[in-house]
Structure formats: C-alpha cells, structure tokens
Amino acid sequence: MNWLNYHHLLYFWSTARHGSITRACEELHLTPQTVSAQIRTLEKVVGEALFVRAGRRMELTDTGRVVFRYADEIFSLGRELTETLRGHPTTRSVTLHVGLADAFPKLLAHHVLEPAFQLEQPVRVALQVGKPEALLSSLATHELDVVIGDAPIPAGLRVKAYNHLLGECSVTLLAAADLAKRCRRRFPRSLDGAPMLLPSTDAALRHGLERWLDDNDLHPEVVGEFADSAILKVFGQQGAGVFAVPTVVEAEVRRQYQVRKVAEVPEINERFYAISVERKVRHPAVAAIYEGARSTIFGS
C-alpha cells in the first residue's frame, strides 16, 4: 500500500490555495526548491500532474482539483481536532458541492436545496451555476456531489452517473396585469401575435413550450430568450411578454414579481432531476434534498 505523505499534501494544498509557490513558501517558511520538489513527489505518487502553469500562476488540473477537495477536508478536520484538544469543541459542517443548471428556476432551486440546511449536522452549500454538460463533467471528476437540473443526463454524454427524479408538474403562463388580462380572453388563441419570453434553447421547458405552441398552431411574437430564469421574470414583470413557470412555484412567482396568471397548461409536463454518481443516494445532504422534493414540493 502507498501511504500518503501529509507534508507533501500540505505543500500542495498551500500552493493551490495561493496559486503561487512563492506565496506558499512565505506561509510555510520553506524555499521554493523544497516545495517544488515535494509537489513533484506527490505527483509521482498520484500518477498525474496536479498543476499547470498559466503565466505566473499555478492552476490546478482536473486531478489537482479532486486532490485539493480532499486536502481541504483533511486539513479542516485537523484544525477541528486541534480546537477540540484545546477545549473548544466544534460542530463540523459538511460541505455539499452542488451544480445547478442555469435554466433551472431559481425559486424552485431554493426550495429543493432547503432540506439540506435542516439536517442536524451543519451543511455548507457550495453552489455552482452553469451549463449542464460542464456541470456533469465536474460531477464525473468528483468536483461536485450532485447536479440539479431540468433534464436527465443527455443521450450520448459519456458520464457514469444516475438520474434521480425529484418530481414533475405542469406549467403556468404568467404576465404583467394588463397583458395577462388580454391573453386570458379566448385563450389559447389569444397568444397568436402576443409577446412572449422564452428560456434558452437548451432548457427543457423551451422544447415543451414550442411543441405545445406547434400542436395548437399558435404563433406568438418571441421578444426575448433568456438563459437566466430570474432575469426572464424581471422582464416579464415589466410587461415585456408572457412567460412560463413550473406550476409548483406559480403562487410564489406571482407574489414576488407582482404578475398575474394567464392560464395553466397541463399538457406541458416539466421534470426535475438530481444527478449523482451514486446509483443509490448515500450523501446525507443529497438524500435530504431528494426526499424533501419527493415528499414536500412535488408530493401533492
């Protein structure tokens, strides 16, 4: 068995945090030659490069980011041990690294993640918002514990991970008061020519809306496309167009953005997923998210 040298790991960890061997040396009171040699030794043990140079900075490779996450946990636990031995017991928090698809409704994201904060053991959430493919790549290298999205793993994407369905619901169309009043008359024919705000083309909701519009031979005027669902709602609040939200957060969106309901569209069915590398969820915070969504948010 190859035992890990924690001095080597400490020198790596300090360099990664500062992005510089020089600054790590100032913290560790060692020479650059010593730190560089110890990092090279660690890389030999790991079997892969941990850093690449980018100008004067030392940037982590994919493997380096994985090692850094573990090192961060190891030295955090060491600090806690020291505090405990000094008579200052601490309650250690668990860090949950979450990837959130940029098209995922932000209000719904808050409700989905909320159960993680209610665990007896404190949880610190490190949230990263981005494109699903990039987030799933980070999941595959264990930089993330879970990806929350509005679609399952795309077909053809070579990532060994599993879809866990959080729940599903219909869609509700909303708009500013005057526009909503106009669009409620003769709905859905009233949407012909009406201004509409759409999510970006990679959002599952976009595809559902377009299919429903085509099936009903409806041709609204698309005045905006948005990757960020929160910005889309701000434009809708200002009367720019009709927009769609998951029905489970309809009431909250109406209150927060002072908009009105046009109509519910039960033919459009949105599904939401937690994606993890575990076939059966074991991470306590991810399990809390999954159970909370199934029983509370979408249970009714």
Check whether residue 233 and residue 251 sit in a common domain.
yes
pLDDT of amino acid 5: 86
Q: Which residues contact 162 (CB under 8 A, 6 or more apart)?
A: 275, 276, 277, 278, 279
The pLDDT of residue 274 = 96
Whether 69 and 14 have beta carbons less than 8 Å apart is answered as no
CATH of the domain at 121: 3.40.190.10
175: tokens are 């708009």
81: tokens are 């041990």
Same domain membership, residue 133 and residue 282: yes
Q: State the CATH number of the domain containing residue 185.
A: 3.40.190.290
Spacing of C-alpha 122 from chain mean position = 19
Residue at 1 is within a domain: no
150/178 same-domain check: no
Closest CA to 101 of 223, 275, 258: 275
| CA–CA separation, 154 and 210 (whole Å) | 19
Residue 1 pLDDT greater than 50, yes or no: no
- Shared domain for 174 and 246, answered yes or no, is yes
Asked if residue 149 and residue 36 are part of one domain, the reply reads no
Span 278-298, pLDDT tens digits: 888 888 899 999 999 999 999
Which range of 74-83, 151-160, 285-294 scores highest in mean pLDDT? It is 285-294
Q: Are residues 276 and 137 in the same domain?
A: yes
Q: Is the pLDDT of residue 87 over 80?
A: no
User: What pTM was estimated for this model as a whole?
Assistant: 0.71
Are 81 and 136 in the same domain?
Answer: no
Tens of pLDDT, residue by residue over 175-220, are 999 999 999 999 999 999 999 999 999 899 999 999 999 999 999 9
Residue ranges making up the domain that contains 65: 6-85
The total number of structural domains in the chain stands at 3
57: in domain: yes
| Residues ≥6 apart with Cβ < 8 Å to 58 | 15, 16, 19, 20, 21, 51, 52
Q: Which of 66, 85, 104 is the last residue of a domain?
A: 85
